[in-house]
Structure 1
Amino acid sequence: MPARSDPRAILRGGLPDRYLTPDDVSELLDVPVETLYQWRKKRTGPPGFRVGKHTRYDPADLYDWIAEQKRNDISQAA
């Protein structure tokens, strides 16, 4: 009998189909977790939200934020 994959781990657009932790986002962006917290404090990083005392990131919001960073980078290079 084949093993069932975890439905929360199904990839959509290259990102997990579950809310992401700061460690997840840190690994995906290859930046330190502390950088994420600084970006959050300055409101310059990907939008996150609180679940109790925990910060979480919606993969769709992260994808949109990355796309915006790409657009800004391209427009500044022109």
Structure 2
Amino acid sequence: MAYATSNAQIAQSSLTERFTTVISNIFKQFALSVAESRYMSELSNMSNRELADIGIKRSDIPKVAREAARGTNA
């Protein structure tokens, strides 16, 4: 009987850990999405001249925003 209880506790712990991991990943993805959105907004509001001054083309904004968001949340 002690063996069955031990296995149940291990299974419960494993389920709890998996649930925590899933929730943690959801929050990380949400934070990443928010950061990327902020970068996109800031860069999109800049003029072509301002973007050129920092070496970014308007067409590169999504890529730059994605890379910047991943860099700040790494």
Q: TM-score, normalised by structure 1?
A: 0.29
More helix by share: 2
Q: TM-score, normalised by structure 2?
A: 0.30
